[in-house]
């Protein structure tokens, strides 16, 4: 049996291995750490901020704060706690401004749509909606707090598309030139980056924002999930997809970032980079060669046999007896339900097709050497024991650039820049009273 120290949330990128990621368990564990390390968050319902005369209460702030602290892995000092709290308040002020702007054009999001988004979020962490809501409540947050953030995110996206979309112009010549650059870069490295954008509206804020950024970098390097923090705190529209910026060659990168990215390993989180509007934290999520077959792009379908830590004492011996020898023989995926029953477990989730590159660390190393029907040895992780069985594998092919895809990519990049300026202008004209 192999013991792996990484938690499952670091094995796969956010939203890819919904059956494997133990986010809810991580939230609960982190909330206990928070309780030990951070000052008690008082649940008083006082008004702390007025945004154009609309209040944000300490109760609302505390609920969001508890979620962010849990996701980031806890805080160890009073100063860190206050820095995170300040960043949370800044994010909530932006959300309130976005909602106010949406209200001016009577843009509303139906509760049924918010429930659907919440259900998808629960599914992405392998939970039923009721279980996920209870997990949020257990760390001092709530379903309502998460849905309030979702509502602002969806409203802003629709508002930006409706108001600014018509002003984004992309010519056929630009797309064709972009595609030609891709062919010119054949064989060169391209990088998949993630970003967390923290804004500083004045020189006075810059020092505090920089301290916040450095604290977040340390927490991510210590095991906090980059995508979750981006979703909670990033001021960029990419926050909706966990800060994902997609693929870019070195020539497409900002000169301020290029050298650091080229000299970093996959998985690296760079030190905060000063920008005209604040700070950006970049993560090098992946790297590959342009228009070249990459073995890590192979599509795999996996099944897992998972024994959670809650059942260790009662079922561990039974589990290891049944599944411990699977690595030495061929196993069909049709056998998995029977093996799960024999091992005394109910978790034998099918993991939908994904690329090998979407797995990380030791899990990727174990899976990429498997043939169809082969299994990993028993893997011990923080949330239990697992055996992964390879059910299917499709070898990769070179994906030629597609005109419509490139067009949409350029269009979304420009719309994102316009949205950032739009929010900056709204913030500049707003009356925000901190109490």
Contact 434, 49 (CB under 8 A): yes
- Domain CATH code at residue 242: 3.10.50.40
413 lies in some domain: no
Residues 46 and 158 in one domain: yes
Residues 132 and 244 in one domain: no
**Residue 409, both tokens:** 């990519």
Residues 42 and 110 in one domain: yes
79 lies in some domain: yes
- The end-to-end CA distance of the chain, in Å, is 56
Residues 272 and 324 in one domain: no
Distance CA 52, CA 58 (A): 17
371 lies in some domain: yes
415 lies in some domain: no
- Identify the pLDDT of residue 31: 43
401 lies in some domain: no
- Identify the pLDDT of residue 348: 66
- What is the residue range of 333's domain? 295-394
pTM comes to 0.78
Instruction: Give the residues of the chain that fall short of pLDDT 50.
Output: 5-43
- Identify the pLDDT of residue 381: 83
Residues 160 and 187 in one domain: no
Split into its structural domains, the chain has a count of 3
Q: Tell me the C-alpha to C-alpha distance, in Å, between residue 38 and each of 30, 69, 81, 83, 136.
A: 11, 9, 6, 12, 18
Q: In the listed set 292, 310, 329, which residue is the last one of a domain according to the structure?
A: 292
Q: Is the dihedral of CA 54, 55, 60, 62 positive or negative?
A: positive
Residues of 372-395 as b/e, b for ≥16 C-beta within 10 angstroms?
ebbbbbbbbbbbbbbbbbbbebee
Residues 42 and 156 in one domain: yes
Q: Tell me the C-alpha to C-alpha distance, in Å, between residue 14 and each of 17, 132, 179, 318, 372.
A: 7, 16, 29, 32, 25
Residues 203 and 126 in one domain: no
Residues 20 and 141 in one domain: yes
The owner of tokens 């990993």 is 376
Q: Is the dihedral of CA 205, 206, 209, 211 positive or negative?
A: negative
CA triple 141-10-36, angle to 5 deg: 45
Residues 150 and 29 in one domain: yes
**Residue 146, both tokens:** 């998460």
């Amino acid at each position: 049996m192999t013991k792996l120290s990484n938690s499952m949330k670091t094995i796969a990128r956010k939203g890819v291995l919904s059956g494997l990621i133990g986010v809810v368990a991580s939230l609960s564990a982190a909330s206990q750490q928070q309780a030990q390390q951070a000052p008690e968050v008082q649940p008083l319902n006082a008004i702390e901020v007025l945004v154009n005369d609309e209040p944000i209460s300490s109760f609302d702030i505390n609920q969001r704060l508890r979620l962010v602290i849990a996701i980031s892995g806890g805080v160890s000092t009073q100063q860190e706690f206050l820095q995170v709290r300040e960043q949370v308040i800044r994010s909530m002020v932006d959300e309130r401004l976005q909602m106010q702007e949406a209200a001016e054009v009577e843009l509303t999001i139906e509760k049924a749509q918010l429930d659907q988004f919440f259900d998808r979020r629960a599914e992405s962490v392998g939970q039923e909606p009721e279980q996920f809501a209870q997990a949020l409540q257990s760390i001092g947050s709530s379903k309502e707090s998460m849905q309030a953030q979702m509502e602002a995110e969806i409203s802003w996206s629709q508002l930006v598309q409706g108001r600014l979309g018509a002003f984004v112009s992309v010519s056929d010549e630009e797309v064709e030139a972009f595609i030609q650059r891709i062919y010119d870069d054949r064989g060169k490295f391209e990088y998949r980056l993630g970003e967390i954008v923290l804004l500083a509206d004045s020189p006075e804020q810059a020092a505090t924002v920089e301290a916040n950024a450095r604290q977040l970098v340390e927490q991510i390097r210590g095991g906090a999930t980059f995508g979750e923090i981006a979703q909670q705190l990033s001021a960029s529209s990419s926050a909706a997809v966990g800060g994902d910026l997609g693929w870019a060659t070195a020539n497409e990168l900002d000169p301020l970032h290029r050298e650091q990215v080229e000299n970093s390993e996959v998985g690296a989180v760079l030190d905060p980079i000063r920008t005209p509007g604040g700070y950006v934290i970049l993560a090098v999520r992946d790297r590959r060669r342009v228009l070249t077959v990459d073995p890590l792009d192979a599509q795999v379908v996996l099944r897992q046999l998972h024994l959670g830590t809650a059942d260790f004492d009662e079922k561990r011996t039974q589990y290891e007896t049944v599944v411990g020898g699977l690595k030495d023989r061929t196993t069909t995926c049709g056998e998995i339900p029977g093996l799960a029953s024999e091992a005394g477990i109910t978790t034998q989730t099918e993991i939908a097709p994904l690329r090998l590159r979407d797995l990380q660390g030791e899990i990727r190393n174990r899976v990429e050497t498997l043939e169809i029907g082969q299994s990993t040895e028993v893997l011990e992780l923080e949330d239990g024991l697992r055996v992964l069985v390879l059910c299917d594998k499709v070898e990769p092919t070179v994906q030629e650039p597609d005109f419509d895809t490139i067009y949409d990519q350029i269009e979304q990049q420009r719309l994102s820049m316009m949205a950032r300026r739009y929010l900056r202008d709204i913030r500049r004209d707003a009356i925000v009273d901190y109490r």
